[in-house]
Every structure is written in C-alpha cells, then in structure tokens.
Amino acid sequence: MMFDYSLAHWATFFTAAILLNLSPGPDMAFILGQTAQRGERSGFAAMFGIWTGTLIHVMFAALGLSAVLATSTVAFSVVKWMGAAYLIWLGVQALSSQGTRLSTDGQASPARLQKIFKQGILVSVLNPKVAIFFLAFLPQFVQVGAGPVSAQLFLHGILIIVVAAFVEPPLVLMGSKLTGYLSNNRNVSRWMDRGLGTLFIGLGIKLATSDRV
C-alpha cells in the first residue's frame, strides 16, 4: 500500500522533525528577529517566506536536484557564497540601523511585509547546507514498497513544514510581546539590532567557511 508506514516510523520522524524545527540557525534567527523588531505580522511574513524556501528545498530533494550541490564543488561554492553574502548584508543593515528599524505591528505596510517575505525565501534558499541536509535526512525515511521514492521524499518534506506550522507560530506570538517593550526602550532596541546584526554576520561567516559535510 502506498505510504504505508509503521507507528515507530512516524514516531521517529516526527520527533526528528520537531527537534529540527526548534534548532537554532539562520531561519529561526530571521523569524524571531523580524518578530521582535516589527511585531507579529512581520514575524509571520518572515515565517511564511522561510516555509516557501523550505518547500523549494523539498522539491529539489524530491527531484534529485539537491544532489548537484552535494556532488558539485562549484555549484555548492556559488550558492554558499551567495548565501553568506546575503546573511552578512542583513547583519550590516541591522548594525547600521541603531534601533531605528523598530516599528509597531500596525505600521507594517503590505510592501514591507512582502519585502520581509521575499527576504525569508532568500535566507532559506541561499543556504546550501539546508539542501544537503534534506538530501541526507529525507531518504532515511524512505521504505521499499511504500511508494515512489520521489513521492515519499516529498511527503516527508511537506510534513516537516506541517510540523513547523505547530512549532513556529507560538514562538512568533511570544516574540511579538517584546515589540511593545522595545518600542519604548530605544537603547534596548539599539542593542537588539546590534545583537541580531552580529548574529547574522556570524552565521554568514560560518556558512562561508563551511564544507559540504
């Protein structure tokens, strides 16, 4: 039967998916950073952008395109340096804002939300480590006779995003509580920007110096 898995299979998979979604990294940093600086609407825009980028990675893994990044040094290096440069650019923007980027949730215009959404996609897509992770992670849950390999990979990849839909929105809602406090404490928001800027630059440098494995 197609997609016929045991209870142990699902228990192992969902445990791993929950831990994956809770693990720190550029994706989570971007979501929580946008939430704390601009409120929950911006946080959700960032989150949906990250999910869209993740969906692209899932599709690449299901189609086998992620294997190109795993086997081609040139392809991996190009995407890696683009991703590192983008993270560092986000970090420099945060450092140079000196707390002035903070706004209340009601002031998040549709154009601003769209920009944050697109930034979230780029943060996710321009991280080759994510592509290679999915290429290594998803096949662990492929079972003979449970359906076409590509379909199994896509199913489990989509379920990772489904798990994120339960894990990340509460974090955004909790993080949005900081916005009101930061809006009334410019010095705190300035240090928040500095911290986020340093974090993104550090993540960019880490990505730039990383290997495929």
In a domain, 125, yes or no: yes
In a domain, 107, yes or no: yes
Intervals of the chain under pLDDT 70? 1, 24, 65-70, 75, 94, 97-108, 178-193, 196, 210-213
In a domain, 168, yes or no: yes
**Overall domain count for the chain:** 1
Reported as type and span, the H/E element at residue 170 is: helix 149-175
Q: Is 157 exposed, middle or buried (0-12, 13-18, 19+ CB in 10 A)?
A: buried
In a domain, 2, yes or no: no
Q: b/e string for 31-61 if b means 16 or more Cβ within 10 A?
A: bbbbbbbbbbbbbbbbbbbbbbbbbbbbbbb
In a domain, 195, yes or no: yes
- The DSSP symbol for 200 reads H
Query: What was the pLDDT predicted at 187?
Result: 65
In a domain, 105, yes or no: yes
Identify the domain containing residue 54 by its residue range. 7-208
Rounded-to-integer distance, Cα 5 and Cα 139, Å:
14
pTM of the model: 0.74
